[in-house]
């Protein structure tokens, strides 16, 4: 059998994948419900207008990348917001001079159109979370993490408004676990290294295009985890670091349309500035609509501290990253590091709860833990659905 056919046969869409697809469909439904009720805001027009300028034509203002100025808060969100509108204009045969305001009267669903890339980012992050937690903790851990994610108001709120937060969260989460995958692959044949190294380079580039601070954090964490895991291969790390940095900067340069004057502003601004802060802890855990996630995270932390069998690399890694992200904030560009931390929090919760549910214990205790887990997920789902109207501006 040809190798390509063999690889295709490895893909399965069995019961676990079907359940994950249903959960992601529920997330999609919530996002569409909120998006259909959102009116276009000034921020929406700004992202759409400047994103279209990046794709269609340069700024008429000398020395500026777009009429929004020299973008330094992440060009990815602008390009993502403008791309569907540019594609629609091309297929509709409209002039490049058509403004976003004029397109509003020509395309009734323009609000949904510019939000689709961000909804897609939320679904992609959910799929990535499911893939990681299922591989690490089995189906149970994957179900728990993805269920809480799909009923998370911060995710839905970020999916229905142009922003760089979801893209940065996706890139940061993917970078950390891809780097861990590269470390394991480095123990095997070299032919397995290259695809993963190239993939990680692309992830770094996308993360840098979303938020420079997220890229630097992802790069630092990747090097730390690889230095810990890549036994006997640590001599390759300096070379890989150069490849990843240069590759990410090349991708970021492409997002600036290969315009040196606009690209240089990234280095002249303080977009990567960070400082210690606990604001993200309050943002993530204080809202009533996140009570299910808060209770689950508190329970997981207590169980992790009490159970020695839960204190292993797979559980401790997302906990360490989540704590780091929840204890810092950006000062150059306002952002939500709480959203960056959320996938790691849910990975930690999924791992610890999976360990507890798999313990051998009396039947009554096992059944009680299952009901507690289900109750937490249902509590979060109910609070999220009840709070959807609050997400409509």
Q: For residue 360, is it within any domain? A: yes
Q: Hey, what's the torsion of the CAs at 126, 127, 128, 134, to 10 degrees?
A: 100
The reply to whether 217 falls in a domain is yes
Any domain includes 335: yes
Nearest to 206 by CA among 245, 167, 238, 261: 167
Residue 304 lies in a domain: yes
CA-angle at 20, arms to 19 and 23, nearest 5°: 90
* pTM score over 0.75: yes
In a domain? residue 63: no
Spatial distance between the Cα atoms of 226 and 176, rounded to a whole number of angstroms: 10
Question: Where does 93-211 have alpha helices with state H?
Answer: 100-106, 110-150, 153-159, 165-185, 193-210
| Residue 98 maps to a domain | no
Is residue 234, in this structure, part of any structural domain at all?
yes
DSSP 8-state assignment for residue 66: B
349 lies in which domain range?
Answer: 3-39+113-391
Our count of domains for the chain comes to 1
Tens place of pLDDT for every residue, the chain, 393 residues?
A: 444 444 444 667 788 899 999 999 999 999 999 999 888 888 888 888 888 888 887 555 555 677 777 676 788 999 998 888 888 777 766 655 555 555 555 555 777 888 999 999 999 999 999 999 999 999 999 999 999 999 999 999 999 999 999 999 999 999 999 999 999 888 888 888 888 999 999 999 999 999 999 999 999 999 999 999 988 888 899 999 999 999 999 999 999 888 888 888 888 777 778 889 999 999 999 999 999 999 999 999 999 999 888 899 999 999 999 999 999 998 878 788 999 999 999 999 999 999 998 876 666 777 888 999 999 999 999 999 999 999 987
Give the bridge partners for 69, in sequence order: 66
């Amino acid at each position: 059998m040809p190798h390509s056919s063999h690889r295709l046969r490895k893909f399965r869409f069995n019961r676990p994948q079907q359940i994950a697809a249903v959960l992601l469909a529920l997330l999609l439904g919530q996002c569409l419900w909120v998006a259909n009720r959102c009116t276009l805001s000034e921020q929406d027009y700004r992202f759409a207008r400047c994103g279209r300028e990046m794709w269609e034509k340069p700024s008429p203002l000398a020395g500026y990348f777009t009429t929004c100025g020299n973008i330094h808060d992440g060009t990815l969100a602008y390009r993502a917001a403008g791309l569907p509108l540019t594609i629609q204009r091309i297929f509709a045969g409209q002039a490049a001079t058509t403004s976003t305001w004029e397109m509003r009267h020509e395309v009734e669903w323009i609000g949904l159109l510019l939000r689709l890339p961000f909804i897609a980012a939320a679904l992609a992050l959910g799929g990535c979370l499911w893939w990681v937690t299922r591989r690490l903790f089995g189906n149970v851990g994957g179900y728990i993490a993805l269920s809480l994610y799909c009923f998370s108001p911060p995710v839905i709120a970020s999916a229905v408004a142009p922003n760089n937060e979801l893209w940065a969260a996706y890139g940061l989460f993917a970078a950390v676990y891809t780097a861990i995958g590269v470390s394991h692959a480095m123990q095997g044949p070299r032919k397995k290294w290259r695809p993963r190294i190239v993939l990680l380079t692309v992830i770094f580039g996308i993360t840098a295009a979303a938020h420079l601070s997220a890229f630097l954090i992802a790069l630092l964490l990747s090097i730390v985890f690889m230095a810990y895991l890549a036994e006997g291969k640590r001599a390759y790390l300096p070379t890989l670091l150069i490849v990843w940095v240069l590759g990410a900067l090349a991708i970021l340069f492409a997002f600036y349309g290969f315009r040196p004057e606009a690209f240089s502003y990234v280095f002249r601004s303080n977009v990567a500035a960070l400082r210690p802060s606990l604001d993200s802890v309050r943002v993530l855990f204080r809202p009533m609509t996140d009570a299910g996630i808060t209770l689950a995270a508190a329970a997981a932390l207590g169980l992790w501290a009490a159970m020695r069998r839960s204190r292993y690399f797979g559980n401790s890694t997302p906990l360490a990253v989540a704590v780091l992200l929840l204890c810092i904030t950006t000062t150059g560009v306002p952002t939500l590091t709480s959203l960056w931390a959320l996938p790691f929090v849910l990975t930690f919760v999924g791992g610890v709860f999976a360990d507890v549910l798999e313990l051998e214990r009396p039947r009554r205790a096992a059944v009680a833990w299952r009901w507690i887990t289900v109750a937490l997920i249902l509590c979060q789902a109910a609070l999220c659905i009840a709070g959807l109207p609050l997400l409509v501006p």
